[in-house]
Amino acid sequence: MKILVTGGAGYIGSHCVLALLEQKNDVIVIDNLSTGHLETIETLKKYGNLKFYNLDLVKSKNLSIIFNENNIDAVIHFAAFSQVGESVKNPQKYYINNVVGTLNLLQAMLENNVKKIVFSSTAATYGEPEYIPIDENHSQKPINPYGQSKLMIEKIMDDYSNAYNLKSVRLRYFNVAGADSHTRIGEWHNPETHLIPNILKSKFKDGQIFKMFGDDYNTKDGTCVRDYIDIEDLVNAHILALEYLNNGGETNFFNLGTNNGNSVKEVFSTCERVLGEKIAVQIEARRAGDPASLVANNSKAKKYLNWTPKISLENSIKNAYEWEKVLQERI
């Protein structure tokens, strides 16, 4: 198949591109490199037939040409800004990039009769959890512009499915962790905002104290509980979602998580075990907008996509640490 991957130079997108290439698909990547890396694209080119376009979905007038030139069969759409705090401070950036960029992409798909898309959505569309674990029947009441932008796109995709028969699968991620198990690519954000890489980076920065936000939540040890899913398990769900659409599946949406929550303290302890040393830590006040617990009910994805996460949190952290060692040599 010829598959277009938007945001394919970023963390999750690049791992999906790698999996698609290893399955001998032809992959076309569009990325504006605002958060992705050209070095990642050069690495990916070693593993199959990849064509790269440095384009912005919001600004580009060439999307339809790219579809026409490459005879694309389906799309996997990752390209988005995804920092919750930034979205609160600058919502216009998020609504223009995430929503308008997606509308431009969908227009190009319709113009070229491409009727299958897998969309990178988020558990942030649910907002504050009303019950745990969260299933797909949970109400969607986002509490920040990032989550709102993703929910808007989901609603747009429903309308496009009904009006134009453009079928979509929306995958609502919980917390993603880990790196390629062969250390070819991995998480590479600047600045890094995710828990696990920030804990691991502490090893490489003498005297740095890791800040843990809040230890007075109503959870098993007072720290926030999150559902961590390995990047390779996550990517496998995208491959299965594409198969679902190729086999005639209807527009649908699925949670991607492990059905299991780990607290910040548990993640921290696991990182120390992987590193083989203690990390200096300082307890800070809670951050605004952090729910006490976010855990997925993933039974729907298991039923319809035949998907089951397999990689443990400890192995995710081990892979992330091996990648962090590679990254430290680059920067």
Determine contact, residues 228/177, Cβ cutoff 8 Å.
Answer: yes
Whether the link from the prior residue into 133 is cis, omega within 30° of 0, is: yes
Which run of H or E residues covers position 122?
strand 116-122
20/25 Cα distance (integer angstroms): 6
> In the annotation, is 146 catalytic?
yes
308/118 Cα distance (integer angstroms): 18
Helix (H, G, I), strand (E, B) or coil at 86: helix
- Distance set, CA 176 to CA 47, 232, 233, 324 (Å): 23, 10, 9, 16
- Positive or negative torsion for Cα 243, 244, 250, 252: negative
Of the candidates 11, 53, 126, 146, the residue annotated as catalytic is 146
Question: What are the φ and ψ backbone dihedral angles of 114, each rounded to 5 degrees?
Answer: -100, 120
Paired with 26 in beta bridges are: 2
Q: Which residues are catalytic?
A: 146
